Structure 1
Amino acid sequence: MGNTECVVVQKRLSRFRPEDRPVIEGVFDRLAVIPEKAQKKTQAGNTLTFEMLQASMCMLASESMIRRSYQCMCSIDFGTTAAGKVSTSPTSGVCREQLVIFLADTLQGTAEERAPLVMAMCRNRACPKVVTSEQLTEFLQDLISAIINILVYKGLLQGWKPDKMGDGSQCVKLLAEQMCSELKPTDQGGYDVACLEDWIFRVPQVSLYLEMLVAEGLNVWPSVQPALSLLPPCKETRWKDLQCLLDIPTLMFLAPQLPDRCNSPWSLVFSTLLHGESFTRMVAGLTKCGPTLLLIKDTKGYVFGGFASLSWEVKPQFQGDSRCFLFSVFPRLRVYTATGYNQHFMYLNQNQQTMPNGLGMGGQHRYFGLWLDSDFGHGHSRAQPKCTTFGSPQLSADEEFILDSMEIWAVGIISDLEEFQDEKWMGKRSVLDVDPEVQAMMEMTGKKLHSQGLREPDKDQKY
């Protein structure tokens, strides 16, 4: 190894803690075990072959994803003119220096360093400096599928049961398409290294998935850094009787969209499959349980929902805050956040004659971005052209939809602010205000309420 190559490799190794550097340097020797079928094709100790890499990663990633990784390693140019960059004419076999640079840039690199690696993993040989949206989508499908395999094989599912959930293969494609939708092409079309660098910087999941693929696939956990958890924990779910509307790729997409405090175990508080089609039962499940995630499937197969940032309350006023959002799962995976146009985030009402009865998010009365009527059989998503509160389009197949199934997941804890407001509200009201029946009984027995009119009225009380 020449001086220049030595300097390049040493700079990459310096990114790791001293106790981790031997682990990184030792990966080459550990992988350089020639499979029996490859003994006649190569010499041990000089370079890593595809078969060697496949022997390490075959249980976690598809052959096409392993080949992409191998192609990327072979393409790394650590010469004097482009140290650590990617060559358009890859060598045959991976040398020790190429592997160290690959490990350092995928595990500890910047967006600028990772962009050429992604380019190499989905390279267009006809035009090696630009890739298409289709090529990037295929690369992402391979990468996401590998991450799901890792979660299953390594026991990192956090209580979720893929066999009791939605079609993961279909949603792998949806998640790949969603991630590609964040790309900004060049003026000539296609995506060069600069486009990929900007994309990787703005979409952290790309780097996260690459880190997990390389670390798990080449077995450098847990020495380099702690294992990553891509899924929220799930607890107390009756999987035996459930076919969940969620799937693993959708969870991988939705969980990072939630506020930081929504990292407690998810718990299913209502499901039409488990609890029947009852609005009253639904209200009992979703109130006073902190932030919730609602999922609805209509009879034409569209899946959509909303995130409620605060506990639901039954009252004829809007509630919630700007952390709420609406989302679509099928046929497109998208999230629609607050626009700031109004504060019509959450609405839940029941048994009122003058105000709409049902559950709504966004928009306004009779024109909600998401509405489920209290009769529980139907709802609407009226957004022409978009919902004013969240900027979302029509989420259901038809503007007026018929409910097929629904789930509500409690995803966080009741905030300190909510608890404080409840305590403050209770502290400033007497038992007569809290329980009108007590007040009525006292009046019937002839006792006068001398404090009536002397206490300051509750400003939040509606008459």
Structure 2
Amino acid sequence: MGNSESSSSSSSADPRFKSACRAFTQKELEDLKSLFVSLAAKSQSDNPHYITPPVFKEYIGAGGPLGDRMFDLVTQKRKDQKLTFQDLVIAKGTYEKGTKDDIEEFIYQLLDVYGDGVVGRSDVERVLATMLNSICSENCSESRSGSEQECVDIFLNAANFKKDDSNKAESSLSFEDFRRWCALLPSVRKFLGSLLMPPDSGSQVPKLVDGESIDPNLVLMREQYAWLIGGALSHELSEWKLLYHSAVHGQSFNTFLGKMSDDGPSVLVIKDREGYIYGGYASQPWEKHGDFYGDLKSFLFQLYPKASIFRPSGANHNMQWCAVNFSSESIPNGIGFGGRVNHFGLFISANFDKGHTFECTTFGSPCLSKTNYIYPEVIECWGIVPKGAQQERSEAIRGTVLERFKEDRHMLNLVGLANSSD
């Protein structure tokens, strides 16, 4: 790495650059140099010593005000439109190798697209618009994506903007409120925290497959919703298949359970009479139990009029509920998440016509709707197959069949029939 440090006496004297270099291995520094040389070569042919804004924004996959702000921060706010190798190392040293507080502070500054030292509501709105435009496919239908401003608003509504005493017209987001906002929206934190990372070959949005002929306007799930929910999952996103929709299959508990034949994790989404949309991620299959079951991978979420994820708090292990044909009032028939019997975080009765949602210590979640008692208008459930799981499942089935064939052949050998002709 000596060549890069000696390329500029002023740069090598910068203590920030020297400190950042120490955070990387020699191999990592060499990779950073190769990256810089490649991007600089795309920027200009006569002076390959810096990266221009257009090339940098293409690399991070974020244009508009978010890309401009990232370029400004990485170049130490010099305003010379030139990103040097030292700039790249210093920025990545903070962004990738810094302490959690260092990284959070960098991302928080990233939201301040106007550069006035205040993260206002309009700043965050512009950043969200850029993010959502980036993650949604260009060929996504309007019914699947929804209006851009509506989707921006549901994410804004999860943030706690406050007005200070300076008589400013716009409310702002404090650093602590920003951290709480990121906890509710892990996909936002993941996106903003990976802009300078090597490009990920996987999609940030799962492929949504309806599976049957259904009017797209009836489907609740949107790309933005799937992106939000997917950001809280530990596995790579692949394909989500619509297994059940009340408008197609009827509001029937038995039909719902019959459609849950995939035996994998699923996403339950509900829209009620008040227009609120919410649901839960079930990490375990929906199957009959007389008590709570599941694991700490499950969570609740809100999608409209605001978006939030509520992960397990550790207060208890009352994750999933699925009771069928029980006659005791202490075991209510239906499906649900969290809380306690008859006071769930979310519950839909076996008739699929009513339910409730209460403040829930299991997930640290509030009432998910406008009122505690809910009346579903639409219920849909999406089966999730993590990347690679389908192939593993096929191989497992194939292995099972082969083993069964070997056992059968062994039995035939015992009775002398294995080599019999037809």
| Pairing of 1:39-438 with structure 2 (within 5 A) | 52=54, 57=58, 61=62, 63-74=64-75, 76=76, 87=77, 90-97=78-85, 100-101=88-89, 104=92, 108-110=96-98, 112=102, 115-116=105-106, 119=109, 122=112, 126=116, 128=117, 131-134=118-121, 137-138=124-125, 140-148=127-135, 152=137, 161=140, 163-167=142-146, 169=148, 170-175=150-155, 178=158, 208-210=190-192, 213=195, 224=198, 226-234=200-208, 237-238=211-212, 241-243=215-217, 244-260=219-235, 265-286=239-260, 289-355=263-329, 356-381=332-357, 383=358, 386-412=359-385
Return the match for 1:31 from 28, 40, 43.
43
Contact 2:157 2:305 in 1 (8 A): no
**Aligned mates of 2:131, 2:91 — CA distance in 1:** 19
CA radius of gyration, larger in:
1
AA aligned opposite 1:366: N
**Aligned mates of 1:254, 1:44 — CA distance in 2:** 45
AA aligned opposite 2:155: L
Q: How many residues align?
A: 365
Provide, for residues 188-245 of structure 1, a one-character-per-residue CA deviation record: whole Å limited to 9, x for no partner: 9977889989998998756742476567xxxxxxxx5553432345457347643432
Unaligned runs of 5+ in 2: 1-6, 390-395, 397-422
**Aligned mates of 1:202, 1:354 — CA distance in 2:** 37
Secondary structure of the residue aligned to 1:347 is: strand
**Aligned mates of 1:282, 1:340 — CA distance in 2:** 29
Is the alpha carbon distance of 1:144 and 1:15 closer, same or farther for their aligned partners in structure 2, counting shifts above 3 Å? farther
**Aligned mates of 1:293, 1:172 — CA distance in 2:** 22
RMSD after superposition: 4.6
Is the alpha carbon distance of 1:207 and 1:281 closer, same or farther for their aligned partners in structure 2, counting shifts above 3 Å? closer
AA aligned opposite 1:122: D
**Aligned mates of 2:273, 2:176 — CA distance in 1:** 44
Contact 1:106 1:214 in 2 (8 A): no
Return the match for 1:22 from 13, 17, 34.
34
Is the alpha carbon distance of 1:370 and 1:94 closer, same or farther for their aligned partners in structure 2, counting shifts above 3 Å? same
Return the match for 2:9 from 3, 11, 14.
3
Is the alpha carbon distance of 1:309 and 1:95 closer, same or farther for their aligned partners in structure 2, counting shifts above 3 Å? closer
**Aligned mates of 2:293, 2:104 — CA distance in 1:** 43
Provide, for residues 10-46 of structure 1, a one-character-per-residue CA deviation record: whole Å limited to 9, x for no partner: 865957364663332231341248xxxxxxxxx9889
- The farther-off stretch of 201-210 and 394-403 is 201-210
**Aligned mates of 1:165, 1:402 — CA distance in 2:** 24
**Aligned mates of 1:63, 1:370 — CA distance in 2:** 39
Q: C-alpha displacement at 1:408, in angstroms?
A: 0.8
Is the alpha carbon distance of 1:308 and 1:115 closer, same or farther for their aligned partners in structure 2, counting shifts above 3 Å? same
AA aligned opposite 2:371: D
AA aligned opposite 2:80: S
Unaligned runs of 5+ in 1: 34-42, 77-86, 156-160, 216-223, 420-463
Q: C-alpha displacement at 1:2, in angstroms?
A: 3.3
Is the alpha carbon distance of 1:297 and 1:72 closer, same or farther for their aligned partners in structure 2, counting shifts above 3 Å? same
Is the alpha carbon distance of 1:319 and 1:23 closer, same or farther for their aligned partners in structure 2, counting shifts above 3 Å? closer
**Aligned mates of 2:271, 2:328 — CA distance in 1:** 29
Contact 2:240 2:382 in 1 (8 A): yes
Q: C-alpha displacement at 1:303, in angstroms?
A: 0.5
- The farther-off stretch of 361-370 and 202-211 is 202-211
Secondary structure of the residue aligned to 1:67 is: helix
Contact 2:186 2:228 in 1 (8 A): no
**Aligned mates of 1:197, 1:391 — CA distance in 2:** 16
Is the alpha carbon distance of 1:405 and 1:174 closer, same or farther for their aligned partners in structure 2, counting shifts above 3 Å? same
Is the alpha carbon distance of 1:394 and 1:17 closer, same or farther for their aligned partners in structure 2, counting shifts above 3 Å? same
**Aligned mates of 1:17, 1:238 — CA distance in 2:** 51
Q: C-alpha displacement at 1:113, in angstroms?
A: 6.1
**Aligned mates of 2:282, 2:183 — CA distance in 1:** 28
Secondary structure of the residue aligned to 1:317 is: coil
- The farther-off stretch of 90-99 and 307-316 is 90-99
**Aligned mates of 1:193, 1:393 — CA distance in 2:** 23
Partner in structure 1 of residue 4 of structure 2: none
Contact 1:318 1:345 in 2 (8 A): yes
Contact 2:114 2:123 in 1 (8 A): no
Q: C-alpha displacement at 1:5, in angstroms?
A: 1.0
AA aligned opposite 1:246: M
**Aligned mates of 2:59, 2:238 — CA distance in 1:** 33
Q: C-alpha displacement at 1:256, in angstroms?
A: 3.1
Is the alpha carbon distance of 1:163 and 1:94 closer, same or farther for their aligned partners in structure 2, counting shifts above 3 Å? same
Identity of aligned residues (%): 21
**Aligned mates of 2:215, 2:228 — CA distance in 1:** 25
Tell me the TM-score normalised to structure 2 length. 0.67
**Aligned mates of 1:203, 1:106 — CA distance in 2:** 22
Is the alpha carbon distance of 1:263 and 1:192 closer, same or farther for their aligned partners in structure 2, counting shifts above 3 Å? closer
AA aligned opposite 2:344: F
**Aligned mates of 1:263, 1:207 — CA distance in 2:** 17
